[in-house]
Amino acid sequence: MSTSIETRNWRYATKKFDTSKKVSDKDLETLLSAIRLSPSSYGLQPYHVLVISDPETREELKKASWGQSQITDASQILVFTNFTDFGEELVDSYLENASETRNIPLDGLQDYGNMMKSSLMDLPTEIKSGWASRQAYIALGNALQAAAELKIDACPMEGFDPAGYNKILGLDDKNLNAVVVMALGYRSEEDQTQHYAKVRKSKEELFTHI
């Protein structure tokens, strides 16, 4: 069995974390690098990730998460937020970054930039926000696999009040919306969920080869 499949079989949505174990700074930086390298549409990365360790902030977020213990028991939580709206500055910032990173003239990227702008700028705000949130989920998927490779347990969580998170974290004023949370740490021996067999559709039901 390949390492890729082994890590996917090893990981599960951790329900109870060992509060005595913390993710090292080195492993956390590796995980954040994996998120940074995640693909996104046009490479625009229309999202922002908050890495939250502060106990007081997490106690407040727990209240907006219907009391789920992962929020306070995990080593850290990552709050993936999407841009709720954007203008041409999103594309222009990417072009400037690409020009500097690849050491190519900015003028040579204008056609690509115009193509992106023509595709995105006239979309309704709610469509832009939905598109941006889907890019954040791609980053979450990469983060989950990277965590498994590092043997860091994780729990992806949608069970929270986004408006509550936005208020606690001051996201509304930053044009951001909390879309999904990832709790990080190490499983508690008391978490019986780790012993459950994975329930997935069969290959025959899930895939169609054409």
Per run of 10 residues, the mean pLDDT along the chain (length 210 residues) is 86 98 98 98 98 98 98 98 98 98 96 98 98 98 97 98 98 97 98 97 98
Rg of the chain over all Cα atoms, to the nearest angstrom: 19
CA torsion 98-100-106-109 (nearest 10°) is -20
Angle, helices 125-149/3-10, rounded to nearest 10 degrees: 100
How many CB atoms neighbour CB 163 within 10 A?
A: 13
Query: Residue 50 burial by CB count (10 A; 0-12/13-18/19+): exposed, middle or buried?
Result: middle
Domains (range + CATH), the chain: 3-84+126-206 (3.40.109.10)
CA dist., res. 13 & res. 105, Å (int):
46
How much is the pLDDT for 2?
66
How much is the pLDDT for 146?
97
How much is the pLDDT for 1?
47
Q: Which residue has the tokens 């910032």?
A: 93
User: For the chain, first and last CA: distance in Å?
Assistant: 26
Query: CB of 77 within 8 A of CB of 184?
Result: yes
Q: Pairing mode, if any, of strands 47-52 and 176-185?
A: unpaired
- Strand ordering across the sheet containing 153-157: 47-52, 76-83, 176-185, 153-157
Entry pTM: 0.96
Q: Which has the closest alpha carbon to 154: 75, 97, 92?
A: 75
